[in-house]
């Protein structure tokens, strides 16, 4: 097993990775910005190095500073978490070229899946269902209009290099497309350095369902079930659950088989997620993208499948066999994750501030992966995620009841937070029935 691990991330995910590393006897090394010096992940690591000021470009995305920290601390491996440099193929190559172990998929797989058009074409060739859309970037507005006319409105205008729900817009007709195309292209150039745009069929009522895959050290790719991710605001997830209440055993078999084919198509190693859109009226699903990293919502899979995905990541990176039997994977019970963000619960706008009260819920089937404690400031420099509240139960109904109790027990004061939204959601008849889609939040508002 790896002996020393540098975690190139912050907040709850850094703290969560450090927890598993220390359980396994691995020396855990944190890197942090000046703004994060007092956060729990820094104090809980065996060693910590400041890599720059608050600006992520000068700290958490500062490759030279992170590699220097790895060298000075004698780190053997680097885990990138999610966000920041986690899906940066050049960083992965640089880490390995420096003689370090990269705890993630190979750079070639990251590159292949990083461009959405290339990813779509690869998946189609591998027999994974893809939604009607362009196979090459729409070179200009006229090409986008022609593509949309062939696909049929409404269409999704999407940045080819985008991710995390950013760089996407819906056009219901040609006039809207002419406006949205320029908006998405400009945004993509500014945010991703790549203005390539693709056009896809937009499904007005759709569910967002993803499959957790793990490429093992022996070359096999296995699927650890699906997660329902349809509770979203601005195309970004707020709630995830596993198993999906929309997925039958027969559909699950098709989902998992397609996800395995997707991983095999790019010789995938380590943890990744195959994201899909599910049309609930036809039970058809279509490839959306592959996230070549550990997902924010991985804990619900850990509960339902009884694995520690960070431990499995480390084992794959070290060339070791998994702790579980790949031929005997089966879901047990139900788990739900709520993303506790520093944002107002109505408009979901960021609301940073100093935490004056922080009391986490506890009890059977309750887990909190948090990045903060009372006294810490939630700064405006990073994502608004403060913690993840994960609940599990023998049934979905039991998990929901535990979620209601946990939300009521969770006390946060100082920054704005979305706990009131979750209290509302957990009483919503649509959510309680399990028959909901990606429009549920907008219908609640």
Question: Active-site residue numbers?
Answer: 293
In the block, tokens 């408009």 appear at 347
Q: Angle, nearest 10°, between helix axes 309-317 and 298-305?
A: 90
Count other C-beta atoms under 10 Å from residue 111's C-beta: 18
Count other C-beta atoms under 10 Å from residue 253's C-beta: 11
Strand-pair partners of 197 = 159
Query: Long-range CB contacts (< 8 A, 24+ apart) of 393-397?
Result: 393/333, 393/334, 393/335, 393/365, 394/333, 394/334, 395/333, 395/334, 396/241, 396/245, 396/334, 396/336, 396/434
Measured between alpha carbons, how far is 357 from 279 in angstroms, rounded to an integer?
42
Contact, 268 vs 215, CB < 8 A?
yes
Task: Calculate ∠ Cα 218-223-228, nearest 5°.
Answer: 155
DSSP letter assigned to residue 405: H
């Amino acid at each position: 097993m790896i002996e020393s691990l540098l975690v190139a991330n912050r907040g709850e995910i850094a703290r969560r990775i450090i927890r598993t590393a220390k359980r396994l006897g691995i020396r855990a090394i944190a890197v942090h910005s000046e703004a994060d010096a007092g956060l729990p992940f820094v104090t809980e690591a065996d060693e910590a190095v400041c890599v720059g000021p608050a600006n992520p470009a000068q700290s958490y995305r500062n490759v030279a500073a992170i590699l220097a920290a790895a060298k000075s601390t004698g780190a053997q491996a680097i885990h990138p978490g999610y966000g920041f440099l986690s899906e940066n193929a050049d960083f992965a190559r640089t880490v390995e070229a420096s003689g370090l172990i990269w705890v993630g998929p190979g750079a070639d797989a990251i590159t292949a899946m990083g461009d959405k058009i290339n990813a779509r074409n690869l998946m189609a060739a591998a027999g994974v269902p893809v939604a009607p859309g362009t196979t090459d970037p729409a070179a200009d507005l006229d090409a986008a209009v022609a593509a949309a006319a062939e696909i049929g409105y409404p269409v999704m205008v999407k940045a080819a290099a985008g991710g995390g729900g950013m760089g996407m817009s819906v056009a219901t007709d040609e006039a809207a497309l002419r406006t949205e195309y320029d908006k998405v292209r400009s945004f993509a150039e500014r945010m991703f350095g790549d203005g390539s745009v693709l056009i896809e069929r937009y499904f007005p009522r759709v569910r967002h369902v993803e499959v957790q895959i793990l490429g093992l050290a022996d070359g096999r790719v296995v699927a650890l079930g699906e997660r329902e991710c349809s509770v979203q605001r601005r195309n970004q997830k707020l709630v995830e659950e596993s198993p999906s209440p929309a997925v039958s055993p027969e559909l699950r078999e098709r989902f998992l088989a397609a996800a395995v084919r997707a991983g095999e198509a790019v010789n995938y190693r380590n943890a990744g997620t195959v994201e899909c859109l599910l049309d609930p009226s036809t039970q058809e699903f279509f490839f959306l993208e592959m996230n070549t990293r550990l997902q924010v919502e991985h804990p619900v899979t850990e509960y339902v499948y009884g694995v520690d995905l960070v431990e499995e990541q480390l084992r794959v990176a070290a060339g070791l066999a998994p702790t579980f039997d790949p031929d005997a994977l089966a879901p047990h019970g139900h788990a739900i994750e709520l993303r506790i963000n520093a944002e107002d619960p109505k408009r979901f706008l960021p609301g940073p501030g100093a935490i004056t009260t922080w009391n986490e819920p506890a009890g059977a089937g309750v887990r909190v992966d948090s990045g903060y404690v009372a006294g810490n400031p939630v700064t405006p420099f990073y994502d608004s995620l403060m913690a993840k509240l994960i609940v599990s139960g023998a049934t979905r109904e039991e998990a929901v009841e535990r979620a209601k109790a946990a939300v009521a027990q969770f006390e946060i004061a100082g920054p704005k937070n979305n706990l009131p939204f979750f209290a509302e959601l957990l009483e919503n008849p649509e959510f309680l029935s399990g028959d909901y889609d990606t429009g549920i939040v907008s219908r609640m508002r």
